[in-house]
Structure 1
């Protein structure tokens, strides 16, 4: 083999190896990003469920408060009409 063909073979081998390693690293990064995306989605879903639970609690508390207020207003109104 001539020196020129050895150089071309060496350069093409190094380029091929660099390409394979580059693709491998890129695939690993992509897999990591996909896993992180799944973890973020799960976290978002749990936060959403927690927010829905808190909203439902607030709705119940608001209804209780309004019922108590209505009772107080009715009691106050009946006291004023009986006096």
Structure 2
């Protein structure tokens, strides 16, 4: 945590760092969208192949999508910390 604080203080006043934070937030959102899209695609294909495994596939899909969203949210928080500090 101390290292993150030092890094944030080092780049907080630079305009390039703020622009990079905005671009990073955009990439995080795009990456999460692509990841969840691929998860949904795989789940639909798996359900089409084995309809009897619907419950297992759905629960695994939701858990994996939640993990992807968590990583994307963490990346957005870091970008916002850089942007507003």
**What's the TM-score bracket when you normalise by the shorter of the two chains?**
0.3 to 0.5
TM-score, length of structure 1 as denominator length: 0.45
Q: Larger RCO: Structure 1 or Structure 2 (Cα < 8 Å, ≥ 6 residues apart)?
A: 2
